[in-house]
Amino acid sequence: MTHTFITTAATDGLFAPVHPRAVGPSEAMMRLRRRFPPRPVPVDWPGTRRSREEIGWWIRQRPGPASTLRAVARGADRLLEWLEGFPGDNWQSRWGASGAQAYSAEGWRVGRVPPVFKAQLTEREKNDLSCGIRALICADVLRPDVRWIVTRKWPGLLDALEWRDLEGITELKARAATRTDLRPAAIAEALGKIAMILACKGGGIIDITVGDCVELAEARDQARGPRNGTNKSLFYLLLHSMGIFPEDAPTTVRVFGRARGQLSVEQLVDRYNLACRPIRDLLVDYLRERQPQLDYTSLTQLSLILCKLFWADLEAHHPGIDSLHLEPAIAAAWKSRMRTKVRRIRLADGTTSEVRSPRLSASEDMARVRAFYYDIAQWAVDDPARWAPWAAPCPISDAEANFTKEVRRRKARMDQRTRERLPILPRLVEAVVAEHKLATARLEAARATAPGASFRIGEETWHRPRLPHAHAVWADDPQGARRNLETEESNAFWTWAAVEVLRHTGIRIEELLELSHHGIIQYRLPTTGELVPLLQITPSKSDEERLLLVTPELADALSQVVSRVRDSAGAVPSVPAYDTHEKVWLPPMPWLFQYARGGENRRMTPGGMRRMLRRALNGLGLTGSDRTPLAWTPHDFRRIFVTDAVANGLPPHIAQIICGHKDISTTMGYKAIYPAEAIEAHRAFVARRRALCPSEEYRTPTSDEWDEFLGHFERRKLSVGTCGRAFGTSCVHEHACVRCSMLRPDPAQRSRLEEIRDNLTARIVEAEREGWLGEIEGLRISLAGAHDKLSQLDAEGARRRQTVDLGMPTFRQIAAGTSTAEGP
């Protein structure tokens, strides 16, 4: 694709916002949907060509009270009479021409019907019409649109459709009855969804396709919102378990859900609605060139920096901009905005306020923009026709893109964070274990208590309410709050399991969630034949697989996790998982960190695990040295693991392998340095240096040698100051101290020095008068020394007068906090 420079006036509509911010599903998702399309509704079938008399006879032959059947037949006949007034060869075509589906199914049930009917229907007439529509659907006279049928509930619809496929529906109900782990209401809801598919598409259970299920799930989300319950996939799981879908069919309908998958480069750029199309095309080409070297997360981040933080910001503040050659004022204004992050918060009165704070990643982001300019300049040499029109001077200097100082600040913040949390890690572990035991005891006591009765946990009295339709175990705490004890016990267990695995392995949160039952392996030592348990860590950030030794504490945690997730057959269920970073669905695997929800097992997500840990750990009341609550993140355990391991003797290069770092400097960046470590390391260095020196240099001195050493310092005291010559050296001036540069004059002896100066001056005058020329030169040297020592005292006095004494602050005034432990 060849770019040419186009000015604003050169092309019509150049800056029109032709790229919408909202983007559709990824190409991979579209291919998946094309492979599993929904069945089209036929325009004609035998049931929709029956006469009114045949339909009425069929309705009256159904099982049920005669009065009810007459009311149903009356409502169906009235609706058919209305449909006869519309064009069409059958009832289905007339139904479509009538516009009846413009009124929701729930509206027909409550009397919101077309104006041709009476404005005010009696309750009997409303019931007749509602039952009549239901009867026509069950009789396969009408097949409504999926989006219409999901707007109301249809209790008992599957039973009314049994005449279509008695064998298939019976098998379906039998499979549903085996799910004793689910609430009866959830089973009924799933069967009702399958009945809706039969009512809209026709045929039997075996005729239902994957596309039919996807269409129903999407229609239900549109009608009731994406968060319309936790059992949205159960109906699909029941059908999938019957083996009616192809072998390559996804194991869960969530594969077709809101997760769009990996977006193309064009979709990544079009999210930001760039006005200048040539620049938009340039960014697309640039990102496509960089795509082979980057993973999807890095590519998404780069598109955000270049498209949103860079060019979209320039277009917002300088409409009509169309060149990468930025004027100095424009570049300076953009860099100023880059260094500031604006966050809008909602105040108590409903208004919003802007909070500005420094953007910590500003230097790194500007470095990527700088690389963008330099890449284009370099590529312009190799392919001038494509890239040369866009080569421009980079508006970012070397100093502005240098984030070394920010890296050091980040290191200091992380070290301080680790030093605050490492001493209280044992308290954290004890609190997590205690909370898990307490939650387990509450759940067991509640299960052993009949509904309506009370039970005691320690000094507290709990009450189990009568909830006949509740599948979970609920209880009222002493304050009267109703709590789901099963959920609390599950959260407490998984919090404990996550803390144990993270603190014993130092793995990342993504690696924690990718642990599978296949990753727990054994290795036989070739020397002793001993079996050693190992934990396999799948490639994550560094794309390197590694094995970790399983300690007894870690083995206990893993064994409890495996025992918890095993199914009735003793196997860990294999479930698919969505990679939130790469935006792809992973094949089914026996993940260790999985849970049951909505009738299916799901792998925990990084966001969900972080929220669970944050709620659990922040609720434990652990505080730092300043008595403020300490916030914990999963990565804190990784830094603590590295710091503790290296401080206790683990070589840094081994810690690097365990952590999966490519560079040992990264590993050492995780390690927090304590003052005690620096002192001990220096003392150890001195000890090693002394060990390498000759032993006679470090022999114990004799009494005479020690007395001579002390006597040297005693003999350094003089009348006018102190001699600074080294031990074991003689006086080079034969004790003419005023002349010696080693003399350190004492300010308290200034008068004596002045007396010596005056005496020397007088002696020089006398020598000149008497003609003692041999003494004059020596006296003048001594006089120059006296003047020099007085000058030293004058300079020292002037320096002392300029110095402001601020006093000596106490430690309480300068200490930022008090650590509970001096070292790790």
pLDDT digits (tens, 9 = 90+) for 500-549: 999 999 898 989 999 999 988 888 878 777 888 888 888 766 567 788 88
Secondary structure class of 217 (helix, strand, coil): helix
Q: How many CB atoms lie within 10 A of CB 342?
A: 10
Question: Pick from 301, 293, 315, 294: which is nearest to 268 by CA?
Answer: 301
Q: Residue 5 above 50 pLDDT?
A: no
- Mean of the per-residue pLDDT values of the chain: 81
Query: Phi first, then psi: what are they for 354, rounded to 5°?
Result: -95, 130
Q: Residue 734 above 90 pLDDT?
A: no
> What are the start-end ranges of the E strands in 517-661?
520-524, 531-537, 546-549, 575-579, 584-589, 594-597, 600-603
At 445, is the pLDDT very low, low, confident or very high (cuts 50, 70, 90)? very high
* List of residues 6+ apart from 432 with CB closer than 8 A: 492, 495, 496, 499, 616, 617, 620
Q: Residue 816 above 80 pLDDT?
A: no
Between vectors from CA 209 to CA 208 and to CA 212, what angle results, nearest 5°?
A: 90
547-557 pLDDT, tens per residue? 888 888 999 99
Distance of CA 660 to the CA centre of its chain: 19
Q: How far is residue 635's CA from residue 642's CA, in Å, rounded to a whole number?
A: 11
Query: Phi first, then psi: what are they for 179, rounded to 5°?
Result: -85, 70
At 303, is the pLDDT very low, low, confident or very high (cuts 50, 70, 90)? very high
Q: How far is residue 551's CA from residue 506's CA, in Å, rounded to a whole number?
A: 13
Classify each residue of 424-433 as buried b or exposed e, where b means 16 or more C-beta atoms within 10 Å of its C-beta. Answer: bbeebeebbe
Gyration radius from the chain CA atoms: 42
Q: Which residue has the higher pLDDT, 62 or 700?
A: 62
Q: Residue 273 above 80 pLDDT?
A: yes
Percent of the chain residues topping a pLDDT of 90: 27
306-357 pLDDT, tens per residue? 999 999 999 999 999 999 999 999 999 999 998 888 777 777 777 777 788 8
> What residues pair up with 483 in beta bridges, in sequence order?
475
Angstrom distances, CA of residue 440 to CA of 338, 445, 461: 50, 9, 16
pTM of the model: 0.72
Q: How far apart are the first and last CA of the chain?
A: 59
* pLDDT score for 206: 92
> What residues pair up with 723 in beta bridges, in sequence order?
743
129-141 pLDDT, tens per residue? 888 888 999 999 9
460: which DSSP letter?
A: E
653: which DSSP letter?
A: H
Question: Pick from 378, 381, 336, 392: which is nearest to 359 by CA?
Answer: 336
Q: How far is residue 784's CA from residue 105's CA, in Å, rounded to a whole number?
A: 115
In this structure, are residues 793 and 801 in contact, taking their beta carbons and an 8 Å threshold? no
Q: Residue 773 above 80 pLDDT?
A: no
Q: Which residue has the higher pLDDT, 453 or 352?
A: 453
Q: Residue 9 above 90 pLDDT?
A: no
Beta strand 600-603 with 454-457 is unpaired
Torsion of CA 241, 244, 247, 253, to 10 degrees: -60
